[in-house]
Structure 1
Amino acid sequence: MKAVSVDNLNGVVNQFIITTPKGQYFQSYDSIIVFVPANSGKIQLDEYYWAYSKTTGRYRNIFLGETKAETQRNIDNGTYKLTNLN
C-alpha cells in the first residue's frame, strides 16, 4: 500500500493538501485546483476551477506561495499547464 496523507490547508475546513507518491494536490471543497508532480514536472492547474472564486484563489495563492497575477504569468509563459484535473 502506498502512503497518502490528507491535511487541511492552514487548518481551514474544505481546503485540503493531498500528498501521494505522484505529488501534491490542492483541493478546494470537491474540486482539485492544483497538482504539483513529485518528479519536478510542470505544475498543473484545473482549467475551470483554478480561478473559480475568491476563496479558492486565496488558498491557491497560499498553496503556491504567489499572487494570482504571478500564477497568471506562469500560465501565460508556459511554466504552468492548464488541464482538466476533475
Structure 2
Amino acid sequence: MSLGGGIFLFVVGAILAFAITVSPSWIDLQVMGYILMGAGVLIIILGIILLVRKRRSTVTTREGIDPATGLRYNTTERRDDADI
C-alpha cells in the first residue's frame, strides 16, 4: 500500500508541476506539485525500507528424559519478534 500511495503522490505531483498551465491566484500549483513529488519519494523510500526489513526469530530446542516414564523427549519452539 505504501509503495502504491507513494507512486500515486509522485504522479499527481508531476502532473501539477509540469502539465497544468492554469494558475489560480490562491495557490501555486507548481510548488504544490514539487511538494507532492517529494512526499511521494519519501513514502516510496519508507515503503522499500519496511519491505526489506528482516524479521528475527528464535528457535529453542529442549531434549531430556521424562522421569516418570524414562522415555526421551525432544521439543522445538519457534518465536518471531512480532509475537513478543
Whose radius of gyration is greater, 1 or 2? 2
Q: Counting helix residues as a fraction of each chain, which structure ranks higher? A: 2
Q: TM-score, normalised by structure 2?
A: 0.21
Higher relative contact order structure (alpha carbons within 8 Å, sequence separation ≥ 6): 2
- TM-score normalized with structure 1 length: 0.21
Task: Tell me which protein shows more strand as a share of its residues.
Answer: 1
